Amino acid sequence: MPELPRLADLPTASEGLTATVPRQLVHRAAVAETLLTGWRRLGTDQFTVAAQWPRAHQLHVTSDRTAYEPLLVTETVRQSGALLAHAEYGVPLGQRFVLQELRVATRPEHLRVGPTPAEPALAVKVFDVRHRAGRATAFRYDADVSIEGTQVAEAHIAVSWTSESVYRRLRGGRTADTVTALPPPPGLPPAEVDRTVPADVVLAPQERPGRWQLRVDTTHPVFFDHPLDHVPGMLLLEAARQAAHALGGAARAPVSFHASFARYAELDRPTWIEAVRGPGEEIQVLGLQGDSAVFACRVGTVAW
| CATH for 72 | 3.10.129.10
How many angstroms separate the first and last alpha carbons of the chain? Answer: 46
Assigned domain for 93 exists: yes
Crossing angle between the packed helical segments 70-88 and 233-248, to the nearest 10 degrees? 160
Same domain, residue pair 128 and 232:
no
Domain that holds residue 264: 175-303
Q: Are residues 15 and 158 in the same domain?
A: yes
Alpha-carbon separation of residue 177 from 23, 76, 162, 236 (angstroms): 22, 28, 20, 21
86 and 193 housed in the same domain: no
Question: Which residues have CB under 8 Å from 292's CB, separation 6+?
Answer: 262, 263
Burial class (CB in 10 A: 0-12, 13-18, 19+), 129: middle
Residues 127 and 183 in one domain: no
Predicted structure pTM score:
0.93
Look at residue 12 in the predicted model and tell me its pLDDT.
54
Asked, for residue 2, whether it belongs to a domain, the answer is no
- Contact (Cβ atoms closer than 8 angstroms) between residue 216 and residue 179: no
Which residue in 109, 114, 148 sits closest to 14, CA to CA? 148
Which residue, of 169, 189, 218, is where some domain finishes? 169
The DSSP letter of residue 65 is S
Which pairs count as long-range contacts for 86-89, CB under 8 Å and 24+ apart, including other chains? 86/7, 86/25, 87/7, 87/10, 87/25, 87/39, 88/39, 88/41, 88/47, 89/126, 89/129, 89/136, 89/139
Q: Report the alpha-carbon angle 276-222-176, nearest 5.
A: 95
Do 261 and 190 sit in the same domain of this protein?
A: yes
Residue 214 and residue 158 share a domain: no
Structural domain includes residue 265 = yes
Specify if 252 maps to a domain. Answer: yes
Q: Pick the closest to residue 246 from 220, 222, 218, 274 (CA basis).
A: 274
Domain-located, residue 1: no
How many domains does the chain contain in total? 2
Same domain, 204 and 287: yes
Instruction: Give the residues of the chain that fall short of pLDDT 70.
Output: 1-18
User: Residue 5 phi/psi, 5° resolution?
Assistant: -65, 150
Last residue of one domain, picked from the residues 141, 169, 197: 169
| Whether residue 45 is found in the same domain as residue 138 | yes
pLDDT of residue 234: 96
Question: Is residue 39, in this structure, part of any structural domain at all?
Answer: yes
162 and 20 within one domain: yes
Question: DSSP character for 53?
Answer: B
Q: Say yes or no: 213 and 291 in one domain.
A: yes
What is the reported pLDDT for 77? Answer: 98
Residue 298 in domain: yes
77 & 209 share domain: no
Task: Name the domain boundary from 147, 169, 191.
Answer: 169
**83/187 same-domain check:** no
- 3-class secondary structure, 96: strand
